């Protein structure tokens, strides 16, 4: 084993099906590497159709009992699960850093964030209320009840290997659903560690299954199955659209958390220092690999030069290195394709008049490391104005009027996160209302919390994760029309 953690039980090189830690039926495996040095950190089973169907069957069987389980019992198991995640925070964070590359500070923050979803939904499990509707006829009354959808298939990405899964596991289990999960091939160990802790927390067998292996085969088995009644996906818009189409065959409920192209607007009346700090956080978090990362930074022309200077100075302080090194702020990118995309965006920007104020090249550490980069004089013709970069590149655009910048910010098929800085109250309302995004950060560069509804509009997806709205995605509404209640 190439990774160093305190409790080796958290590191599982098996799939988890029906409460059993298993290999692929044919014994085949896939390698998992550390993006900081390309060393192999372990292997996981290469599961396929048969294993996926076995997991779906187990989930369907286990859900029959779980849906009947009193809310308080479900809540209590989730609460124990939360406690265990907190106890093992450091090991879980190290697993993220080994397989994903982010700094230990960010990885530790991710585990706090993961745990917060389990805690939140442990509490929400007790608050799944229905309605009583006045009768529409003399003898009638109508009751609305909410029931779990059933087996939920869950496909998650590599950028937040623990949190993206925790925020699906929490509401699914809280509402009485069961899960069949497929983490990204780059980062399966965080998901398997969560499954191990859920098992330790007393979660009945079969409710939470984790399959590692071929995405297409497992994905197709999930979307083809009649037993799977919902698919929840976090990942690229391209894969999301394909899965949506596949889910149409059996009319599954879907939640999609897809790509973004977040605008970050700094008005002339903003607190510039705060705006710079917010933009740095929104841009470079996770080496720019989050779907809510600021992709386009628009700064009012009157403060453009001042902002460019201050932002570049702040970005220059970011320490790039291996995530396990405590001095590191920014880890490597996930793979070579990610570096190629970053380079493509930078070359294109330079060819179209962009001026590199900082970085612009692969980092001297080599491998998958890239320098934090700042580009001045960005314009709307550049690729970076239209495509998610998913890397540490900040293009700075200038603008003249509120109307113009809102039109430019909204000129995209995406609608996930947006940010703006102003000290003007009226503008705060106007701009918040006009931004066509599911989330708006007003004078902040970080919007994520388990207590608010995370999600996008337009091609950024559908459904919400976290908050009281997050449970609704896992529930069916049923009404019971009661007749014969004559006075
Ligand atoms: P990224 O490009 O960031 O890896 P993807 O959308 O490809 O984004 O990946 C997100 C998740 O979707 C991962 O778990 C990945 O394995 C999975 N995935 C990719 N392609 C498919 C597919 N055809 N069917 C099911 N899952 C898929």
> Which residues are bridge partners to 143 per DSSP?
132, 480
**Model pLDDT for residues 187-197, shown as the tens digit of each residue:** 999 999 999 99
| Rounded Cα gap, residues 369 and 375, in angstroms | 18
Query: Residue 342's closest CA among 308, 296, 387, 381?
Result: 387
CB atoms within 10 A of CB 343: 16
Query: Residue 44's closest CA among 33, 55, 34, 29?
Result: 29
3-state secondary structure at position 76: helix
Atom of ligand 1 nearest to the CA of 220: 24
Contact 161, 191 (CB under 8 A): yes
Contact 181, 152 (CB under 8 A): no
| Ligand 1 centroid from CA 253, angstroms | 19
**Model pLDDT for residues 212-228, shown as the tens digit of each residue:** 999 999 999 999 999 99
| Rounded Cα gap, residues 33 and 201, in angstroms | 29
Quick check: is 86 catalytic? no
Contact 223, 233 (CB under 8 A): no
Query: Residue 175's closest CA among 159, 151, 155, 199?
Result: 151
Residue 447: predicted pLDDT: 97
| Ligand 1 centroid from CA 208, angstroms | 20
Taking only Cα atoms into account, the Rg of the chain, rounded to an integer number of angstroms, comes to: 23
**Model pLDDT for residues 410-467, shown as the tens digit of each residue:** 999 999 999 999 999 999 999 999 999 999 999 999 999 999 999 999 999 999 999 9
| Ligand 1 centroid from CA 481, angstroms | 43
Atom of ligand 1 nearest to the CA of 240: 6
Atom of ligand 1 nearest to the CA of 238: 6
pLDDT at 472 over 80: yes
* Phi and psi, residue 280, nearest 5°: -60, -45
| Ligand 1 centroid from CA 399, angstroms | 36
Average pLDDT over residues 73-91: 98
Query: Residue 253's closest CA among 177, 146, 152?
Result: 152
Tokens of 100: 């994903």
Residue 2: predicted pLDDT: 80
Q: What is the pTM of this model?
A: 0.97
What is the enclosing helix (H) or strand (E) of 265? strand 262-266
Give ligand 1 pocket residues (Cβ under 6 A): 155-157, 182, 184-185, 215-216, 219, 235-236, 239, 242
| Rounded Cα gap, residues 231 and 255, in angstroms | 6
Q: Residue 486: which pLDDT band, with cuts at 50, 70 and 90? A: confident
| Ligand 1 centroid from CA 161, angstroms | 13
Q: Residue 260: which pLDDT band, with cuts at 50, 70 and 90? A: very high
Pocket probe for ligand 1: among 30, 32, 155, 341, the residue whose CB has the most ligand atoms within 8 Å is: 155
Per cent of the chain over pLDDT 90 is 99
What value does the mean pLDDT of the chain take? 97
| Rounded Cα gap, residues 209 and 312, in angstroms | 45
Burial of residue 180, with CB atoms counted within 10 A of its CB: 0-12 exposed, 13-18 middle, 19 or more buried: buried
pLDDT at 141 over 90: yes
Which residue do the tokens 């079969």 mark? 206
Report the chain's terminal Cα–Cα distance, integer Å.
73
Quick check: is 177 catalytic? no
| Rounded Cα gap, residues 49 and 54, in angstroms | 9
Strand ranges inside 91-170, DSSP E? 131-133, 141-148, 151-155
Atom 15 (ligand 1) nearest CA: 184
Atom of ligand 1 nearest to the CA of 182: 14
3-state secondary structure at position 401: coil
Strand order in the sheet with 178-182: 20-22, 15-17, 208-210, 178-182, 151-155, 228-234, 253-257, 461-462
pLDDT at 1 over 60: no
Query: At a CB cut-off of 8 Å and minimum separation 6, what does 243 contact?
Result: 155, 219, 223, 231, 233, 254, 256
**Model pLDDT for residues 3-58, shown as the tens digit of each residue:** 999 999 999 999 999 999 999 999 999 999 999 999 999 999 999 999 999 999 99
| Rounded Cα gap, residues 20 and 440, in angstroms | 43
* Phi and psi, residue 348, nearest 5°: -65, -45
Strand ranges inside 68-222, DSSP E? 131-133, 141-148, 151-155, 178-182, 208-210
């Amino acid at each position: 084993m190439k990774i160093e953690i305190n409790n080796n039980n958290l590191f599982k090189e098996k799939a988890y099906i029906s409460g059993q830690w298993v290999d692929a039926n044919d014994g085949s495996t896939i390698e998992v590497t550390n993006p900081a040095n390309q060393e192999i950190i372990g292997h996981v089973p290469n599961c396929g159709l048969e294993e996926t169907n076995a997991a779906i069957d187990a989930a369907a069987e286990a859900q029959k009992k779980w849906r009947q389980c009193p809310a308080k019992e479900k809540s209590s198991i989730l609460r124990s699960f939360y406690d265990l995640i907190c106890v093992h925070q450091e090991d879980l964070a190290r697993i993220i850093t080994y397989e994903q590359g982010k700094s230990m500070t960010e990885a530790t923050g991710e585990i706090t964030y993961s745990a917060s979803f389990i805690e939140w939904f442990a509490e929400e499990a007790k608050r799944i209320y229905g309605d009583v509707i006045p009768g529409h006829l003399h003898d009638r009354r109508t009751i609305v009840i909410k029931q779990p959808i059933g087996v939920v298939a869950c496909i998650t990405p590599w950028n937040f290997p623990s949190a993206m899964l925790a925020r699906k596991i929490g509401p699914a289990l809280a509402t009485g659903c069961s899960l069949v999960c497929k983490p990204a091939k780059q980062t399966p160990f965080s998901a398997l560690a969560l499954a191990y802790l859920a098992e330790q927390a007393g979660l009945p067998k079969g409710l939470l299954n984790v399959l590692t292996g071929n995405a297409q085969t497992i994905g197709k088995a999930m979307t083809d199955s009649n037993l799977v009644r919902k698919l929840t996906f976090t990942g690229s818009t391209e894969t999301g659209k394909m899965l949506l189409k596949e889910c149409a065959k059996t009319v599954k409920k879907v939640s999609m958390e897809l790509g973004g192209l977040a605008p970050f607007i700094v008005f002339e009346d903003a607190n510039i220092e705060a705006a710079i700090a917010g933009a740095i956080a929104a841009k470079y978090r996770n080496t720019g690999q989050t779907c809510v990362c600021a992709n386009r930074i628009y700064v009012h022309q009157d403060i453009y030069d001042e902002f460019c200077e201050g932002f570049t100075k702040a970005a220059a302080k970011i320490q790039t290195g291996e995530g396990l090194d405590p001095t590191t702020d920014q880890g490597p990118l996930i793979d070579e394709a990610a570096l190629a995309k970053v380079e493509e965006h930078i070359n294109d920007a330079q060819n179209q008049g962009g001026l590199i104020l900082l970085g612009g090249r692969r980092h001297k550490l080599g491998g998958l490391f890239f320098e934090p980069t700042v580009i001045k004089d960005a314009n709307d013709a550049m690729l970076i104005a239209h495509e998610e970069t998913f890397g540490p590149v900040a293009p700075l655009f200038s603008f003249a009027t509120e109307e113009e910048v809102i039109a430019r910010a909204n000129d995209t098929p995406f609608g996930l996160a947006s940010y703006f800085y102003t000290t003007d109250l009226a503008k705060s309302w106007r701009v918040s209302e006009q931004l066509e995004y599911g989330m708006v950060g007003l004078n902040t560069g970080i919007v994520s919390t388990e207590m608010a509804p995370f999600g996008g509009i337009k091609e950024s997806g559908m459904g919400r994760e976290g908050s009281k709205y997050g449970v609704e995605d896992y529930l069916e509404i049923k009404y019971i029309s009661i007749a014969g209640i004559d006075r």
